[in-house]
Chains A and B, each alone.
Chain A
Amino acid sequence: MNRYESLEGRIDAVVIGASAGGIEALTQLLPQLPASSKLTVLVVLHVPRDRPSLLVDIFRPRCRLHVAESQDKDPIQPGTVYFAPPDYHLMVDIGPQIALSADELVNFSRPSIDVLFESAADLYQRRVLGIVLSGGNHDGAAGLQAIVRAGGLAVVQSPDQAAVDIMPRAAIAAGSVDYVLPLDQIAELLAAL
Chain B
Amino acid sequence: MSASELQDFDIELQLLIDAIYLKYHYDFRGYAQASLRRRMRAALLRFNCSSLSQLQDRVLREPAMLTAMMDFLTVQVSDMFRDPAYYQALRRHVVPMLRTYPSLKIWIAGCSTGEEAYSMAILLREEGLLDRTLIYATDINGQALQKAEAGIYDLDRIAGFTENHRRSGGSSSLSDYYMAAYGRAVFDKSLRRNIVFSDHSLATDSVFAEVQLVSCRNVLIYFNRSLQDRAIGLFRDALCRKGFLGIGAKESLRFSDHSNDFVDVDREYRLYQKKDRAGDGL
User: CB within 8 Å of B: which residues of A?
Assistant: 50, 70-73, 85, 88, 91-94, 99-104, 115, 118-119, 121-123, 125-126, 146, 149-151
Contact A121/B1 with A71-B250, A102-B75 known, Cβ cut-off 8 Å: yes
Contact A93/B32 with A73-B252, A100-B250, A122-B6 known, Cβ cut-off 8 Å: yes
> Digit string of B159-195 for contact with A (CB within 8 Å is 1, else 0)?
0000100000000000000000000000000000000
**CA separation between A102 and B252, bound complex, in Å?**
15
> Digit string of B1-32 for contact with A (CB within 8 Å is 1, else 0)?
11100100000000000000000000000001
B53 at the interface (CB under 8 A from A): no
Interface residues on B, range: 20 to 34
Does B2 lie within 8 Å of A122, measured CB to CB?
no
20 contacts between A and B (CB under 8 A): A71-B251, A72-B248, A91-B34, A91-B38, A93-B34, A100-B221, A101-B35, A101-B221, A102-B218, A103-B35, A103-B39, A103-B75, A103-B77, A115-B38, A119-B37, A121-B1, A122-B6, A125-B3, A125-B6, A150-B3
**CA separation between A93 and B222, bound complex, in Å?**
11
B121 at the interface (CB under 8 A from A): no
- Shortest Cβ distance from residue B207 to the other chain A in the assembled complex, whole angstroms: 24
**CA separation between A85 and B218, bound complex, in Å?**
13
Does B32 lie within 8 Å of A99, measured CB to CB?
yes
B225 at the interface (CB under 8 A from A): yes
**CA separation between A70 and B264, bound complex, in Å?**
20
Does A94 lie within 8 Å of B248, measured CB to CB?
no
Q: Within 8 Å CB of B1, what residues of A?
A: 121-122, 146, 149-150
User: CB within 8 Å of A: which residues of B?
Assistant: 1-3, 6, 32-35, 37-39, 75, 77, 163, 218, 220-222, 225, 228, 248-252, 255
Does A70 lie within 8 Å of B75, measured CB to CB?
no
Does B33 lie within 8 Å of A85, measured CB to CB?
no
**CA separation between A104 and B1, bound complex, in Å?**
22
Q: Within 8 Å CB of B221, what residues of A?
A: 72, 99-102
Residue of A nearest to B252 (CB): A71
Counting from the closest, the 7 A-B pairs by CB-CB distance are A93-B34, A91-B34, A102-B218, A99-B34, A72-B221, A119-B34, A101-B35
- Shortest Cβ distance from residue A59 to the other chain B in the assembled complex, whole angstroms: 18
Does A102 lie within 8 Å of B77, measured CB to CB?
yes
Q: Within 8 Å CB of A125, what residues of B?
A: 2-3, 6
**CA separation between A98 and B86, bound complex, in Å?**
23
- Shortest Cβ distance from residue B253 to the other chain A in the assembled complex, whole angstroms: 11
- Shortest Cβ distance from residue A57 to the other chain B in the assembled complex, whole angstroms: 15
Residue of B nearest to A105 (CB): B77
Q: Within 8 Å CB of A122, what residues of B?
A: 1, 6, 34, 37
